Amino acid sequence: MILYTPVPPEIVMKGSEGHKPVYFQIPFSRGFIEVEITSGNSAKIVRLNSSDLNDYLHPAFQPGKEIRLKWDIEQ
């Protein structure tokens, strides 16, 4: 990867050592949504992988959107 930017690489890459996000893939009928777990019951959309192109224009699927996670206990 070559970065073409006037910002020095040490500033761009600052904090990359300590940053270890927990990613989680949520499958749905047309693909999956990759989320970053931000707390016990919330996550942030990181990436979308869908076979339907309209999903990429859908406001609910935009990266950065916060979502709430619901946990179910199976008996």
Partner 1 sequence: MKIFDSEYCSHTVEPEIDNPEQPAEGQENEPSSKTITQLGQLALPKPDNDIFTLTIIGQIEGHMVLPPQNKTTKYEHVIPQLVAVEQNPKIEGALIILNTVGGDVEAGLAIAEMINTLSKPTVSLVLGGGHSIGVVISCGCNYSFIAETATMTIHPIRLTGLIVGVSQVFEYLDKMQERIIDFVSSHSRVSKEKFKELMFNTGQLGRDIGTVLVGHEAVDIGLINEVGGLSKAVNKLREMINKKKEGDKQYHDTLHAGTAGDRDEGQ
Q: Which residues bind partner 1 (CB under 8 A)?
A: 1-10, 12-16, 19, 21, 26, 28-30, 47-48, 50, 53-63, 67-68
The DSSP code for 45 is: E
For partner 1, which is the closer residue by CB, 37 or 55? 55
For partner 1, which is the closer residue by CB, 57 or 73? 57
- Cβ atoms 41, 35 nearer than 8 A: no
Shortest distance in whole angstroms from residue 13 CB to partner 1: 6
Rounded Cα gap, residues 64 and 67, in angstroms:
9
Shortest distance in whole angstroms from residue 5 CB to partner 1: 3
Among the listed residues 47, 42, 43, the one whose alpha carbon sits nearest the alpha carbon of residue 62: 47
